[in-house]
């Protein structure tokens, strides 16, 4: 079982394509590609944003070994790291758009969330469930007995 999609390409071609796509996603903040490629790019782009949030020299070198371009690296460690400083994960969104005419491949937009001109607004955080009062030992034992009688 593999931990990544092979996308019908040799390893060198696949990694080069994914590096370019992640760099273009960071640069333009939205790209259109096939759904399978977008799922792989989402995984890698989230890792790059995590490195940007870490902000250390080691993280910068690791990100520089993957993304292409100094302006992409600078944007990753300044703008995107600041934008997502309070978010624990899930920095990208995948929106299925159409079926490509030539080969009927499903296409999708992949974009960073919480940005201006995004295709779909982020959902508000889910409300916390109401807290129930703790049961005293007698009530708990009575409720357990009532449930277990069959």
Element (H, E) at 21: helix 11-28
User: First vs last Cα of the chain: how many Å apart?
Assistant: 44
CB 68 within 8 A of CB 26: no
CATH homologous superfamily for the domain 11-122: Ribosomal protein L17 (3.90.1030.10)
Strand, helix or coil at 97?
Answer: strand
pLDDT higher at 114 or 26: 26
What pLDDT band is residue 124 in, cutting at 50, 70 and 90? low
pLDDT higher at 98 or 5: 98
Strand, helix or coil at 94?
Answer: strand
Helices (H) and strands (E) in the chain, counts: 6, 3
Name the pTM for this structure: 0.74
Other Cβ atoms within 10 Å of 84 Cβ, number: 20
In the DSSP assignment, the letter for residue 80 is I
Instruction: Give the pLDDT confidence of 83-119 residue by residue, as tens digits.
Output: 888 888 889 999 999 999 989 999 999 999 887 776 6
The residue extents of the domains of the chain are: 11-122
Instruction: Give the pLDDT confidence of 30-54 residue by residue, as tens digits.
Output: 999 999 999 999 999 999 999 999 9
């Amino acid at each position: 079982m593999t931990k990544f999609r092979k996308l019908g390409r040799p390893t060198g071609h696949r990694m080069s394509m994914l590096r370019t796509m992640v760099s273009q996603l960071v640069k333009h903040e939205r790209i259109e590609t096939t759904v399978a490629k977008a799922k792989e790019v989402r995984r890698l782009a989230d890792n790059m944003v995590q490195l940007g949030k870490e902000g250390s020299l080691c993280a910068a070198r690791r990100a520089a070994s993957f993304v292409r371009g100094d302006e992409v690296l600078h944007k990753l460690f300044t703008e995107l790291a600041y934008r997502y400083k309070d978010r624990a994960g899930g920095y990208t969104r995948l929106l299925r758009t159409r079926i490509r005419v030539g080969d009927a491949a499903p296409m999708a937009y992949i974009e960073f969330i919480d940005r201006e001109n995004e295709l779909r607004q982020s959902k508000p955080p889910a409300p916390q469930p109401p807290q129930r009062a703790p049961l005293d030992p007698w009530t708990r034992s009575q409720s357990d007995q009532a449930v277990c009688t069959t």
